[in-house]
A and B are shown apart, each in its own frame.
Chain A
Amino acid sequence: MTTSALTRPGQRDRLIMKVPEIDWRLAFGLICIAGVGAMMLYSAGGQSWQPWAASHLIRFGICFVLMLVLSLIDIRIWFVMSYPTYGIALLLLLAVPIIGHQSLGARRWLQAGPISVQPSEIMKIGLVLALARFYHGLSAKDAQLSWKLLIPAALIAAPTLLVAKQPDLGTAILVAATGLTLMVLAGLSWRILAAGTLATVVAAPAFILFLMKGYQRDRVLTFLHPEQDPSGTGYHILQAKIALGSGGLLGKGFGLGTQSSLNYLPEKHTDFIFATFAEEFGFVGCAALLLLYGLTIAVALRIAAISHSHFGRLSAAGVTATFALYVMINAAMVMGLAPVVGVPMPLMSYGGTVMVTVMVGFGLVEAVRVHRYSEISSGTGSLLF
């Protein structure tokens, strides 16, 4: 790799030189995870490619190609596009309450002909790009503690509040947590972080009791006492725990999970697919799957660490943080350690929107990797503007 660092300027910009620079370990990790997902969807669909497994694989294939294409886009183009992307995402989010499509009591979708768009998903990438773009031009001192930090705080707060209002608590938490993680990675003062954490702990009960919607509050309270409502909201948690626990050490075997195949497990193919997997492959399988996710995250973080540009580092780390938070929150939720907030297991859960978001994100990570030696002048982008 060091040799490529010494190639002549302009040489690296040739596509043929870029393809070998794609991190194939990361790509392989993603393929493995999506493969496990397809396998579980095959099982959950009653040992059938229909209705989920086949379309899951097709979507992943398309998204994988998209990721490869995105990874060849010059990092400076990403850089230049970051504020516009954020801006467009914010405008779409603002449009959702006005012209959005309502389903299941929440307005989350925008319909444009045959294509329906979930602006909150675009925002996940947009926020990461915008924050990375902002910190790229910020000194270490300012990143630690200064009035300028009000800008990233506002960048985070605006979409978080808009998404929470839809209401989509899971995504709001994810957006906020990703932004906060990026601020910390950029060098936020520990004191601010500690104060913020303290404030959150104090404010949380009041938030739960007074600001949450009824069903959201139910979910949180049921999480604390699932046995009080075994057939209602507590049913998800209880049945997921039964699925996990009855899997035992080695699992019931592929396709033999009764909790999922007999439909005791709700959302067995989406948010609770980890429980489906746990029932059939047991503790050993779960530990191996978490390890696979962990290795993928580690590879992605390593890509962030070796980037020469601050924008590259932060954007790759931001995407990785989003992915890691998805995995942690979903696993904790399925295991009964967190409230049921509707966060899918990335690349395993059935559903196209999240997969597109994740794979576009990893396209960015790969682009950072491919263009790790590119320099970006701070301030305005030099390429287009």
Chain B
Amino acid sequence: MEPSIFFDEVNERQGVFHRRTFLFGGAIGLGSLALVGRLMQLQVFEAQAYQKLSANNSIRFRLVPPPRGAILDRNGVEIASNRPDFLIMVRKEEIDDPETTIASVAQLLPLAPNRQKQILRQLEITPSAIPVSIATDLTWTEFARVTARLPELPGVTADMGESRVYPFGGAFAHVVGYVSKISQPDLDRAKKASPSGQIDPLLLHPGFRIGKQGVEYALDAELRGKPGGQKIKVDSVGRVVTEDPAGDVRATPGKDVVLTLDADVQNRALEVFGAEAGAAVAMDVHTGDILCLVSTPSFDPNRFVSGVASAEYQALHDFDHQPLLNKALSGLYHPGSTFKTMVALAALEMGFDPKRTYTCHGTWQFGNHVFKCDHHHGTLDLHAAIAASCDVYFYQASLIVGPDRMADMGRRFGLGQKFDIGIPGQKAGIVPDTAWKKRYFQSDPANQKWFAGETPSMGIGQGATVVNALQLCTMAARIANGSHAVSPRLIQSIGGVERPPSAPAVPLNINPEHIQFIQAAMTSVANDPGGTAVKSSQLGLGALRMAGKTGTAQDHAYNGSHGAHGAVGAWAMRDNAWFVCYAPADAPRYALSVLVEHGGFGADTAAPRAREIMKVALLKDPDIRQRIERPLQDPPKADDAQTQTPASLTKSADPSGPDTAEAHP
């Protein structure tokens, strides 16, 4: 065919080339088939697995912090809630040059050079997926200024987060506690507690705050909630490409916690303390629900949310009135004369004749030691001795009862006990008896014996006996209840689920007549002419009366033989003032214990405050309100008390029955 081919040699070359080219084409074909086979393996048989890997590559969830659960009082008033907070954050993975970015933001917001350095350091140590906060709590103007410039600031996000707020300031600071920035120890603990050893990324979010004290600390897990996710598509270096609102996972808000507290009672309690240090606990005598749990002076928990300045913290820490201490739970004090109710009850239960009389001349000699009483009470029976709080009577009665019976009765009424009310920081205190002495002085055999001289001291609530305000309130509540040993409850419900009291109300197993005897004596304290607190305990609420017991507990050994009792001398050397009470006296509803630290006489400083707190509690109770208001429709029946309402907290100029105890040797 081809005119150019004349030689066999040339034909042979061409033939070889044709055959080999054909083979080469075949080899290319086979190679292509192999490639197609590989494509089929990857794109048809293994496609699903690779599609999953592809999605994992690009789909991320950006953490959306959950709103923290609110803390409410029994009436639904917010004690701790959240407010909107404008904040500016920056994500390391989305910025090229942190210094330029921060400098640009600093032109829009006041950022001190130190703060800028701090942010840059934070950016270095934070994992790249976690945003770092530049500024929080911005005003709307500042926020808007940054938001308008966001397109020029890649990696910077403006967000409306939430910040914790405590509307009542210091009123609930000790019970509710506060949230604050998470600390390294918090993180270490979280890491240890986590089964996977991984820290929940929520904890690293700049807006996250962890409960540090009180309810916020104890119920942190319930209040915290579960973070949601904002579905985003990111490229290979983590830059957000698109957002997919349809794929967002909503955050689960934290559970709301309802406390048994009443904000009005709590606020009034804080108010009546003024500048005094002390504690007040009020309780429902039937349920054990705590209406108020106050410790003063207090501090503003709002200052701790965004990080309190160290100077401010130091000032709080160094103040001798100890604002950071929850005195209602952690403060231990001698119960003083309030303990006489227990001594009397123990005596009655062992068959002590309440008609038995002792005569008080102001002192009583035991061995070679002289025990003192504040007054020459004359001859008294048990009822009068309680009402007038005569120490001499109880020195001698306690010798008959003995330490073990007194201690046992105290414990049955809640003294020396910790109650599981759901927040930490409770101290049990001491109710001493012979067994306790053996335990306590294990390494000191000489002191293990119970010395006879210790019994009279214990009989007036001194000696080794130390209790807290919650225990004394529980004691008052159990006396008022009469039949059952109610236990305090602080957490009413979590996320709508009712919480039980700290312990079931078991029967007291006390002779009702004996209880009634004590109740009658406590009513006399607050109402009868000879009562120690008669002037400061008038409620002025019609027929409603209060029953109570004063206590003036010596906190320091007095200098010399002259008693510096009451509100005399330096603040830190004065006596602690107690008043435990319940009301109404005829049908008890609320019990209350008030401590005024170094307040002097219980009747002067503690009882008037107790009266004011109790009035709020009573007036807020609809049943009791009805009892008060009905007499108004019937003027002739109106009580004298209506007219002589003690409107203010005036100190009684002449304490009719202060009770002090001389130190035992």
* Given A308-B2, A335-B42, CB of A294 within 8 Å of CB of B29: yes
Q: Does A143 contact B (CB under 8 A)?
A: yes
Q: Does A381 contact B (CB under 8 A)?
A: no
Q: Does B424 contact A (CB under 8 A)?
A: no
Residue of B nearest to A135 (CB): B13
- A244 engages B13 (CB within 8 Å): no
Q: Does A247 contact B (CB under 8 A)?
A: yes
- A328 engages B43 (CB within 8 Å): no
Q: Mark B49-75, 1 if CB is under 8 A from A, else 0.
A: 111011001100000000000000000
Residue of B nearest to A310 (CB): B13
* B-side contacts of A140, CB under 8 Å: 9, 12-13, 16
- A317 engages B21 (CB within 8 Å): yes
* One of A82-90, A163-171, A256-264 contacting the partner: A256-264
- A337 engages B234 (CB within 8 Å): no
* One of A17-25, A108-116, A181-189, A358-366 contacting the partner: A181-189
The residue from A259, A301, A332 contacting B25, defined by CB atoms under 8 A apart:
A301
* B-side contacts of A44, CB under 8 Å: none
- B39 engages A337 (CB within 8 Å): no
Q: Does A80 contact B (CB under 8 A)?
A: no
* B-side contacts of A290, CB under 8 Å: 32, 35-36
- B51 engages A294 (CB within 8 Å): no
Chain A, interface SS category = helix
From A144, A246, A313, A332, name the one whose CB has the most chain B CB atoms within 10 angstroms: A246
* Given A181-B24, A248-B44, A301-B24, CB of A263 within 8 Å of CB of B13: no
- B49 engages A245 (CB within 8 Å): yes
A205-B148 Cα distance, complex, nearest whole Å: 62
* A-side contacts of B47, CB under 8 Å: 245-249
Q: Does B141 contact A (CB under 8 A)?
A: no
* One of B235-243, B259-267, B657-665 contacting the partner: B235-243
* Given A181-B24, A301-B21, CB of A244 within 8 Å of CB of B39: yes
Q: Does A139 contact B (CB under 8 A)?
A: yes
A294-B30 Cα distance, complex, nearest whole Å: 11
- A143 engages B16 (CB within 8 Å): yes
Q: Mark A134-172, 1 if CB is under 8 A from B, else 0.
A: 000001100110000000000000000000000000000
Q: Does A305 contact B (CB under 8 A)?
A: yes
* Given A242-B57, A297-B28, A321-B24, CB of A248 within 8 Å of CB of B43: yes
- B58 engages A375 (CB within 8 Å): no
Q: Does B571 contact A (CB under 8 A)?
A: no
Chain B, interface SS category = helix
Within 8 A of A (CB), among B12-30: 12-14, 16-18, 20-21, 24-25, 28-29
* A-side contacts of B21, CB under 8 Å: 185, 301, 304-305, 313, 317
* A-side contacts of B92, CB under 8 Å: none
A263-B239 Cα distance, complex, nearest whole Å: 10
Within 8 A of B (CB), among A234-278: 239, 241-249, 258-259, 261-264, 278
Q: Does A324 contact B (CB under 8 A)?
A: yes
- A187 engages B16 (CB within 8 Å): yes
Q: Does B31 contact A (CB under 8 A)?
A: yes
* Given A283-B39, A286-B39, CB of A324 within 8 Å of CB of B53: no
A50 to chain B, nearest CB (A): 18
B139 to chain A, nearest CB (A): 38
- A335 engages B35 (CB within 8 Å): yes
- A262 engages B241 (CB within 8 Å): yes
The residue from B13, B24, B237 contacting A143, defined by CB atoms under 8 A apart:
B13
Q: Does A58 contact B (CB under 8 A)?
A: no
The residue from A143, A258, A335 contacting B38, defined by CB atoms under 8 A apart:
A335
* A-side contacts of B57, CB under 8 Å: 239, 242, 258-259, 262, 264
Q: Does B443 contact A (CB under 8 A)?
A: no
The residue from A144, A185, A313, A335 contacting B39, defined by CB atoms under 8 A apart:
A335
The residue from B10, B32, B58, B235 contacting A294, defined by CB atoms under 8 A apart:
B32
- B43 engages A249 (CB within 8 Å): yes
A4 to chain B, nearest CB (A): 12
Q: Does A282 contact B (CB under 8 A)?
A: yes
Residue of B nearest to A375 (CB): B4
* B-side contacts of A298, CB under 8 Å: 25
* B-side contacts of A314, CB under 8 Å: 17
A316 to chain B, nearest CB (A): 10
Q: Does A287 contact B (CB under 8 A)?
A: yes
The residue from A248, A264, A375 contacting B51, defined by CB atoms under 8 A apart:
A248
Q: Does B609 contact A (CB under 8 A)?
A: no
* B-side contacts of A224, CB under 8 Å: none
A244-B20 Cα distance, complex, nearest whole Å: 34
- A245 engages B2 (CB within 8 Å): no
Q: Does B40 contact A (CB under 8 A)?
A: yes
A264-B55 Cα distance, complex, nearest whole Å: 11
* Given A246-B54, A317-B21, CB of A283 within 8 Å of CB of B16: no
Q: Does A5 contact B (CB under 8 A)?
A: yes
A225-B387 Cα distance, complex, nearest whole Å: 93
Q: Does B46 contact A (CB under 8 A)?
A: yes
Residue of B nearest to A321 (CB): B24
A149 to chain B, nearest CB (A): 14
The residue from A186, A324, A375 contacting B17, defined by CB atoms under 8 A apart:
A186
* A-side contacts of B25, CB under 8 Å: 297-298, 301
* Given A287-B39, A335-B39, A337-B38, CB of A263 within 8 Å of CB of B237: yes
- B35 engages A331 (CB within 8 Å): yes
* A-side contacts of B351, CB under 8 Å: none
Q: Does B367 contact A (CB under 8 A)?
A: no
A298-B652 Cα distance, complex, nearest whole Å: 118
A324-B35 Cα distance, complex, nearest whole Å: 13
- A310 engages B14 (CB within 8 Å): yes
B236 to chain A, nearest CB (A): 4
- 30 A-B pairs with C-beta separation under 8 A: A143-B13, A143-B16, A144-B16, A186-B17, A187-B13, A241-B50, A242-B50, A244-B39, A244-B50, A245-B46, A245-B53, A258-B54, A261-B241, A262-B57, A262-B233, A262-B234, A263-B235, A264-B235, A286-B36, A301-B24, A301-B25, A308-B5, A310-B10, A328-B31, A328-B32, A328-B35, A332-B38, A335-B35, A335-B42, A337-B34
Known A245-B42, A335-B38; 20 more pairs at CB < 8 Å: A139-B9, A139-B13, A140-B12, A181-B24, A185-B21, A187-B20, A242-B50, A249-B43, A262-B57, A263-B236, A283-B40, A286-B43, A294-B28, A294-B32, A297-B25, A317-B21, A321-B24, A335-B35, A337-B35, A337-B38
**A-B interface, 6 closest residue pairs, ranked by CB to CB distance from nearest:** A245-B50, A246-B54, A262-B235, A283-B43, A248-B47, A187-B16
